Copies of this chain bind each other. A is one copy, B any other.
Amino acid sequence: MALPESNLKHKGRRSLKAPRRTAAPEERRQQLIEATIRCVANQGLAETTIATVAREAGLSQGIINLHFRSKDRLLTETLRYLADEYRTAVRAAEEAAGDSPVAGLQAMVELDFRRNICSRDKLAVWFAFWGERRFRPTYRRICAARDRSYEDRVRVLCAKLCEQGDYPDVDPALVADGLSALTDGLWLDLLVRPDSMSRDLARRISMSYLADAFPRHFERPAIARHVSANHRAADDRPLDVSAR
């Protein structure tokens, strides 16, 4: 649907430093979506209310029902915004990689762990929505479309590489599904344990996966002492699970 950056409808030219008291609707919508992302990322979906989003955006309560018809639509549009962004990135990676399946797979890994795609804010929003997606048809549709844009691409690439690269024993669907799952799991790690998982480590794990699956086309990353886990975050202390 509406791609975020392209359609700014500026009536008059009006460079601004102080927040304008009135703005073009499309501009406000964008502003509110970004405020929503920050709210969900900082407080969770449960604590995200119309009031907190409006405050985060520096605007009044009523603004959300003015520009989106309801809170529900605000959330839907926020999810759609992220999904569009992701699918656009997939298409761009597809075009950049050309015909080579090796370059294509590498581009997909690179894409998934690029800062602007998997920033902590955005990861937080993804997982917040994933927790609810089964129960909201709209969420389901949006998420499913995003998933497919990724998986279709990876499946094609794996199948092509199996064929061209002569890997008769490799099941391309298995490798593709595995890479997809691995990526989701690494995203989760990035989100909940930023001290023991980094975007760079995630990339190495993914490339290592591809190197193991297609050893003649990818090189396994050299063994690196990655920062060991002794300086874990406070929330990773073992502590008293069983204590009641």
Contact = CB atoms under 8 A, between A and B. Distances in A.
B47 A135 contact: yes
Interface in A187-217: 188-189, 191-193, 197, 201-202, 204-205, 208-209, 212-213
Interface in A201-244: 201-202, 204-205, 208-209, 212-213, 220-221, 223-224, 226, 235-242, 244
Contacts of A114: none
- Say what secondary structure dominates the interface of chain A: helix
Contact of A147 (B131, B142, B193): B193
Contacts of A80: 241-242, 244
A145 B46 contact: no
Contacts of A173: 226
A185 interface: yes
Contacts of A136: 44
A40 to B, nearest CB: 9
A144 B237 contact: yes
Interface stretch (A4-12, A92-100, A174-182): A174-182
B181 A134 contact: no
17 contacts: A130-B131, A130-B192, A134-B192, A170-B223, A171-B208, A171-B223, A171-B224, A174-B223, A178-B209, A181-B185, A181-B186, A181-B205, A182-B182, A184-B184, A184-B189, A209-B209, A212-B212
Given A144-B238, A178-B182, A181-B189, 15 more contacts: A44-B135, A45-B46, A77-B244, A80-B241, A129-B131, A133-B192, A144-B236, A144-B237, A147-B236, A174-B208, A177-B201, A177-B205, A182-B185, A184-B185, A184-B188
